[in-house]
């Protein structure tokens, strides 16, 4: 009997470690993000972006262990956001964020909130944007697009990769996906690509098959790397950890390539150490994003 009890304890402990604590990043991942190549693509650009703005559509809280393996039970602020990059000649919007129904459906705390005015500004920004992207194809990043009342007014500006386009029916309203979105031609990208003055997009499959990162140089020389949901908190990069595997099994659709995400976390950790002036921007880290706004690195609302 004792041996059976011991075996059960070992199995439970192993499952607990595997599902909630295991987060082993590789020793190196130098080939993941080529900052030098991104810089080369925009080396001769003029009319660089003058303003980079964030729209905070919703806020929530989650226990730290949900954002980082072994993170404990303290509360971590989560923001649902979109980004607007403004240059003298064009505007680029990155993000679809949540709508009110989705914010309610994924609510995690009594302190959650949804900003209808911010959501309206995000939807309205598509009319004046020259191009529109998302970082990846998960429900809290696409709803302003899939549930927009008139997506046909901006689909000619929409740059979604094939995996992103294929996922859109998952996030359609009850009435079904708009024909304008259902017939969308995918944006093709296989390598880092300059998409506007001072802006490079690069494929970064891992958290989702269609994940992208965006490298931006502002006109004052400040550089940014927008990383979507590779991590939910900057502490993941500092500590070389990702989310618990259990969350991947329960919530992510499409699924996450955990091994690749850990390679990306290692790469970001090393880049942050080598290039401390580069502003790395995850989509959801509330306290960190608020600090960037307070410092002037991000504008607090869309223009």
The full DSSP string for 35-63 is: HHHHHHHTTT--S---EEEEEEEEEEEEE
Q: What is the CATH number of domain 2-295?
A: 3.60.15.10
Q: What are phi and psi of 98, to 5 degrees?
A: -105, 155
State both tokens at 294: 């307070």
Examine residue 301 and say whether the peptide bond preceding it is cis (omega within 30 degrees of 0). Answer: no
What are the domain boundaries of the chain? 2-295
How do the pLDDT tens digits run along the chain, 303 residues long?
667 766 666 666 665 655 666 678 889 998 999 999 999 999 999 999 999 999 999 999 999 988 888 888 899 999 999 999 999 999 999 999 999 999 999 999 999 999 999 999 999 999 999 999 999 999 999 999 999 999 999 999 999 999 999 999 999 998 999 999 999 999 999 999 999 999 999 999 999 999 999 999 999 999 999 999 999 999 999 999 998 877 776 667 667 899 999 999 999 999 999 999 999 999 999 999 999 999 999 999 998
Does residue 205 sit in helix, strand or coil?
coil
Backbone angles phi, psi at 61, to 5 degrees: -135, 150
Find residue 39's DSSP bridge partners: none
Q: Do residues 122 and 97 lie in contact, with contact meaning Cβ atoms separated by under 8 Å? A: yes
Is the CB of residue 297 less than 8 Å from the CB of residue 279?
A: yes
Length of the chain (residues): 303
At residue 227, φ and ψ (nearest 5 deg) are: -115, 10
Bridge partners of 59, per DSSP, are 79, 113
Q: Which residue has the tokens 């390598």?
A: 191
Non-local (6+) Cβ contacts of 25 within 8 A are 240, 241, 242, 262, 263, 265, 266, 269
Structure tokens, 216:
């931006």
């Amino acid at each position: 009997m004792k041996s059976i009890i011991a075996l059960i304890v070992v199995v439970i402990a192993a499952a607990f470690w595997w599902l909630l604590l295991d987060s082993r990043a590789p020793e190196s991942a130098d080939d993941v993000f080529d900052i030098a190549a991104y810089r080369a693509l925009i080396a001769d650009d003029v009319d660089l972006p003058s303003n980079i703005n964030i729209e905070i559509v919703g806020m929530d809280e989650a226990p730290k262990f949900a954002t980082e393996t072994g993170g404990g039970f303290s509360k971590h602020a989560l923001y649902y956001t979109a980004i607007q990059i403004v240059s003298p000649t064009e505007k680029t919007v990155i993000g679809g964020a949540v709508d009110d129904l989705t914010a309610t459906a994924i609510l995690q705390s009594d302190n959650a909130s949804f900003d209808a005015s911010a959501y309206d500004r995000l939807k309205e920004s598509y009319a004046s944007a020259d191009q529109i992207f998302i970082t990846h194809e998960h429900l809290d990043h696409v709803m302003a697009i899939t549930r927009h009342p008139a997506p046909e007014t901006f689909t000619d500006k929409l740059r979604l990769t094939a995996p992103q386009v294929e996922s859109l029916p998952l996030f359609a309203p009850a009435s079904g996906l708009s024909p304008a979105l259902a017939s969308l031609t995918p944006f093709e990208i296989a390598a880092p690509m300059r998409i506007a003055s001072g802006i490079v997009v690069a494929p970064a499959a891992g958290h989702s098959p269609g994940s992208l990162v965006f490298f931006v140089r502002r006109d004052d020389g400040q550089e940014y790397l927008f990383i979507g949901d590779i991590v939910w908190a900057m502490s993941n990069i500092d500590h070389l950890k990702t989310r618990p595997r259990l969350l991947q099994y329960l919530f992510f659709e499409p699924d996450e390539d955990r091994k690749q995400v850990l390679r990306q976390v290692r790469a970001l950790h090393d880049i942050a150490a080598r290039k401390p002036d580069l502003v790395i921007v995850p989509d959801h880290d509330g306290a960190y994003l608020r600090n960037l706004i307070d410092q002037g690195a991000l504008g607090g609302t869309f223009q």
